[in-house]
Structure 1
Amino acid sequence: MDLLANTVRPYAWGSTTALPELLGTEPTGEPQAELWMGAHPGAPSRLDRGTGPVPLSDVIAADPRGELGDAVVDRFGPRLPFLFKVLAAGTALSVQVHPDLDQAKAGFADEEARGIPADAPDRTYRDANHKPEMLCALTPFEGLCGFRHPAEAADLLESLAVDELKPFVDILRARPESDALREVLVAVLSAERTAMAETVERAALAAARLGEGDGPFADACAAYAQAAHDFPGDPGVIAAMLLNHVRLQPGEALYLGAGIPHAYLSGLGVELMANSDNVLRCGLTPKHIDVPELLRVVRFTPGDPAVRRPEDGGDGEEVYDTPIDEFRLSRYVLAPGAAAHRLAAPAPQILLCTAGRATLTDADGTRLTLERGRSAYAPAGEPLTLDGEGTVFRATVKV
């Protein structure tokens, strides 16, 4: 097992205080958005096994079966199949979706064949992998997840009393659900930009008024008004109004599969995802929006967001279930004086302490203490025990 040195990504939407508080560092005054833990080439974690700091990606490349285990390599290839993060949202992230595996492979191959540079701003597919993800709240967390039922979206838009939104209300009430959502999203994203910006401004003012009340859409409208303040005139504000507004309490989670539109708005959480960077954006962003490809990937299926809570995994482990195998997220809430928990090791794992202090012990009796905000990596085949007082999140692979 090895203590990890991790990179903080300073994206513009990041909080200036949340990650420094978790890590016990001084705020810089600049946004600090994501702490990356893993072997993604964009910012691999570093570890030191006695010869100086080395990227985890290099460690795995030098001995993939020794680090990952045969089962992981045979299923996912010679790379760590997940990326573990702490995400700190100070302002809204873009409304976005992720492709499924077949779409990612086809899209990546197409853009490679067309010679679009990997770092081009209009590049959609950065790799050939899908990007299912799970977000578990560490603080009260606010987001958008999946389409509202069209009738509910129509009620929300109608409550704003903005004349320019009435055609959308009529579509949402008259057309079959999936067709209605598609038609309205297309209309919003393809509208003339100046006219739509004026509509967004009026809708934002109305949302701000409703957000100060106690009506059925008050919380959601306050969130939309804040997004409009951060992204004035952005059509994504109207697109966001088609989505469910969600508030997570600490320990609650969202799983986001392929094609599900979503956005994180505020709060601190741990995020675990397949090792990919494929994002198609719908709005709340100055970045490229590929509308035709977006419409091919989005799943226009309404439904209530499925807030997930951990299930008993035995021996104190609380597991957040997902339908995919690239990652498995769980949590240990450690009590002082309790027996140490045994962590089986069929796959590599990363352990992150988010509260208190935890101690890892390997089969040889070597101990490693994790303070709040620190993380450790253990290769496959390295059984550990865990004790202490605090909270530890565990990221590994289903095998």
Structure 2
Amino acid sequence: MRRLQSPRRTYDWGSREEIPDFLGQPVDGERVAEVWLGTHALAPSLVDGPDGPRSLLEVSGELPFMLKILAADRPLSLQVHPDAELARAGFDAEEASGTPLDAPHRVFKDPHPKPEMVLALTTFDTLVGFRPTAEILRVLGALPTSLTQKLAERLRAEPGFAGIVALVEQLVTDPPTPQEVGDVVAACADGVQRRTDVKRAYLTALEVNEHHAGDVGVVISLLLNRLTLQPGEAAYLATGIIHAHLKGMCLEVMVSSDNVLRAGLTSKHLDPQGLVRCVSGGMSRLARVEPEQFGESTDVFSPGLREFALSMTQVSPAEPAGTPLPDQGRRIIVCTGGEVELVNEHDERLPLRRGSAVYADAADGTIRAHGTGEVGQAYTPTAEDRATPLTDLV
């Protein structure tokens, strides 16, 4: 077992307090958005060693998964992640063009797809996937603006997934003026006042507009499902699913990738046509991940992929011999609450407090946790783990 030092990422949507508090670090005014735990080339973790810190990559080899601690104080960008084919083609094209890996306008940072799963540490709000056609028509039809009525008319003429994607393409390639967006916002405010909000659609648009006034993403938010996860609940975001996290803190586990195509709600580089090309799937492939039980105290969240799963273990003195963690391969373990001590098969011990993280591999064998707290573990699942079903939300 090796203790990890992992880089913080500061973006304008991050929280000034959540991650520093989680890590037990002083609040310095920076908006800390993410902590990356893994081997991705842009921000690899370091491991403690007798001769000082070393890159985790040197110790573990390239990991197929990455674990993040994410804290959003305002909406993230409206985005889609590419599938394997689009990721490889995009990466090869940008490599051939000589675009530096850290260039602000670079889109494909690696050749990998980026499916991901979020597990809420606090109440976590996100927009994921399209609403059904009928619901979108109810949302738009009750807003008496020229823009929303034109969008509704077009969707009636071409209903279903293809028609909704066509609306998004129209909006991101020929964005409405700030005045047109403002008119929609005013109509949403009136709808909330009159209690005619459709499944929080208007309230969401108002919340997004507070941080991104006049942005096309405010209008697109009306087309998307809003999901609220309570602490301990998880959801899977497949590639090709349009989404925008709104607020809250979570663990996020994904294929080790940083490929993101954006079309709004951000100061970062936009690639609207690329986003439209990446959108795929049915009306909504949003899915809650129902956990499977491991032992007495562990929930295993597995979306059925070969690259990653996430376990959450409650540790207490009720198991005097220690609480066993699943898996015996390469894994990243983070303490998400309380204080625990990890013990491997060689009786090596490592104390952790909230925010501490370690890397372990096959040489450690089964790890048991002692104390009182909670630990999350990202790892490569077995075929049995990958059989966990998903619950579709439409």
The TM-score normalised by the length of structure 1 is 0.90
The corresponding residue for 1:31 is: 31
The corresponding residue for 2:107 is: 124
The corresponding residue for 1:94 is: 77
What is the correspondence of 1:307-386 to structure 2 with a 5 Å cutoff? 307-339=288-320, 340-343=322-325, 345-383=327-365, 384-386=367-369
222, 225, 228: which one aligns with 2:209: 228
Change (3 A) 1:394 1:187: same
124, 146, 149: which one aligns with 1:166: 149
Letter matched to residue 359 of structure 2: Y
Instruction: Indicate whether 1:190 and 2:173 are aligned.
Output: yes
CA distance in 1, matches of 2:332, 2:270: 34
Deviation at 1:40, TM superposition (A): 1.8
Deviations 1:232-279 (A, max 9, x none): 211111122211011111111111111000111100000001111111
The corresponding residue for 1:302 is: 283
Change (3 A) 1:214 1:373: farther
Deviation at 1:306, TM superposition (A): 2.1
Instruction: Indicate whether 1:150 and 2:133 are aligned.
Output: yes
Structure 2: runs of 5 or more not aligned: 383-394
CA distance in 2, matches of 1:4, 1:266: 27
CA distance in 2, matches of 1:7, 1:213: 47
The corresponding residue for 2:373 is: 390
Maintained 8 Å contact 1:136/1:251 = yes
Deviation at 1:379, TM superposition (A): 1.7
Maintained 8 Å contact 2:197/2:203 = no
Maintained 8 Å contact 2:298/2:325 = no
Deviation at 1:395, TM superposition (A): 0.6
Deviations 1:295-347 (A, max 9, x none): 22101521373223322133432111212111111100122332422235442
What is the correspondence of 1:223-262 to structure 2 with a 5 Å cutoff? 223-262=204-243
Moved over 6 A (4+): none
The TM-score normalised by the length of structure 2 is 0.91
Maintained 8 Å contact 1:351/1:393 = yes
Letter matched to residue 40 of structure 2: H
2:364 counterpart SS class: coil
Letter matched to residue 396 of structure 1: Y
The corresponding residue for 1:267 is: 248
Maintained 8 Å contact 1:212/1:218 = no
The corresponding residue for 1:76 is: none
Letter matched to residue 310 of structure 1: P
CA distance in 2, matches of 1:142, 1:86: 15
The corresponding residue for 1:282 is: 263
Cα RMSD (Å): 1.9
CA distance in 1, matches of 2:286, 2:260: 20
CA distance in 1, matches of 2:263, 2:329: 36
CA distance in 2, matches of 1:20, 1:211: 35
Change (3 A) 1:259 1:304: closer
Deviation at 1:143, TM superposition (A): 0.5
Letter matched to residue 167 of structure 1: K
Maintained 8 Å contact 1:315/1:342 = no
Maintained 8 Å contact 1:329/1:394 = yes
CA distance in 2, matches of 1:213, 1:369: 55
Maintained 8 Å contact 2:289/2:303 = no
Maintained 8 Å contact 1:345/1:382 = no
CA distance in 2, matches of 1:213, 1:86: 39
Instruction: Indicate whether 1:140 and 2:145 are aligned.
Output: no
Aligned residues: 380
The corresponding residue for 2:3 is: 3
